[in-house]
Amino acid sequence: MADMIVVENLKKDYGDVKAVDGISFEVKEGEIFGLLGPNGAGKTTTIKMLTTLLKPTAGHAKIAGFDILKDSTKVRENIGIVFQDPSLDEDLTARENLEFHAILYKMGKEQRERKIAEVLKLIELEDKADVLVKNYSGGLKRRLEIGRGLIHEPKVLFLDEPTLGLDAQTRRHIWEYIKKLNDQQKITLILTTHYMEEADYLSSRIAFVDHGKIVALDTSKALKNKLGGDVISVQFNKGVEELAKHFKSLKWVKTVARHGDFLDLTVMEGETKIPEVIKIAERRKATVISVNLHKPSLEDVFIYFTGKTIREEAGDQFKEHMRSRMRRRG
């Protein structure tokens, strides 16, 4: 399979701040590529550069064979974008939103009508095509935004937090639509998300970005296998920092990750190590509040490489997302 996206040593500086610090990766044609990281890690800046909304300080990137600097118009012709924030005209119908977008891409009348019919069928909104968007649920609006991003037949679709703020059931429906369009249209997708299960379910490969660098890149299965063994997640009432240092010194503890008053310890044969963990806490005058044993998850890998849980980041971003929407309404 050919490379649809090639990124080489891409950088973006804001004065002394390195927002993106020399990242490189390739995305194959038809692949779903997940881009994950804490807030401020460089994900959004990377997406803005790849979609020609921002010029890089250094480095190169090509989309569908076109250079993001030398062939920016051709790049834009070959990409679609579904933004994190809603961008539909709610006083228009779904059909009118799609037609307006198609006109912006200078599509002829016959081509517009054909593509609008195709997209409405793909996103299963044929029966609601002439309903005003303001009467749509959040899930229907998201499906329409994804459909609008496909109207000009792009080779690459960028999905920036496509299910942020939606309930769990609606998120799952959106995942199925994303999978379907990838299977049917063979379109290449770049996905940014704070929902770890979303990246795990959808992505062929996942890149973790932190401090402007890619710190891990592989399939979800391979990333989980990097930790291996079991994960003992323990909550303590005090002394977490000192306990973390002690556990790091033990040969039977493979990795230690701290988040708040929790420690995640990667060990072999975890069920036999729990009593020892409790004894160590007691000797150090700390109390174990809760303990959980599980196989390494993508969340555990994320914590290992970034030192923070995706849930903490997601909560921060969701709050800011809602504040932004309230400010616009006001």
Helix, strand, coil % in the chain, rounded to nearest 5: 45, 30, 30
- Whether residue 192 contacts residue 44, with contact meaning beta carbons closer than 8 Å, is answered with yes
Say if residue 180 is in the same domain as residue 233: no
Other CB atoms within 10 Å distance of the CB of residue 322 = 12
What would the pLDDT profile of 44-61 be if each residue is shown by its tens digit? 899 999 999 999 999 999
Say if residue 92 is in the same domain as residue 12: yes
Note the pLDDT of residue 227.
Answer: 85
Say if residue 119 is in the same domain as residue 234: no
**pLDDT averaged over 10-residue windows placed end to end, the chain, 330 residues:** 92 94 96 90 92 95 96 94 85 95 90 92 91 92 89 90 82 86 88 89 94 94 89 94 94 90 93 94 93 91 78 47 48
Say if residue 176 is in the same domain as residue 264: no
Q: Which of 243, 315, 314 is nearest to 284 (CA)?
A: 243
Say if residue 78 is in the same domain as residue 107: yes
Burial class (CB in 10 A: 0-12, 13-18, 19+), 83: middle
CATH number at residue 254: 3.30.70.100
Say if residue 19 is in the same domain as residue 142: yes
Domain boundary among 200, 222, 244: 222
Note the pLDDT of residue 317.
Answer: 47
Domain boundary among 222, 248, 265: 222
Residue 53 in domain: yes
Sheet arrangement for strand 58-63? 17-28, 3-14, 58-63, 66-67
Residue 164 in domain: yes
Burial class (CB in 10 A: 0-12, 13-18, 19+), 172: middle
Residue 300 in domain: no
Note the pLDDT of residue 237.
Answer: 93
Note the pLDDT of residue 222.
Answer: 93
What would the pLDDT profile of 194-230 be if each residue is shown by its tens digit? 888 999 999 999 999 999 999 999 999 999 988 888 9
Residue 324 in domain: no
Q: What is the pTM of this model?
A: 0.79
Say if residue 276 is in the same domain as residue 189: no
Residue with tokens 């997406």: 47
Note the pLDDT of residue 123.
Answer: 84
Residue 206 in domain: yes
Q: Which domain holds residue 270?
A: 229-295
3-state secondary structure of 92: coil
Residue 113 in domain: yes
Note the pLDDT of residue 319.
Answer: 46
Question: CA 193, 183, 83 angle in degrees (round to 5)?
Answer: 30
CATH number at residue 44: 3.40.50.300
Q: How many domains does the chain have?
A: 2
Say if residue 97 is in the same domain as residue 23: yes
Strands 205-210 and 213-218, sheet pairing: antiparallel
Note the pLDDT of residue 165.
Answer: 77
Note the pLDDT of residue 206.
Answer: 96
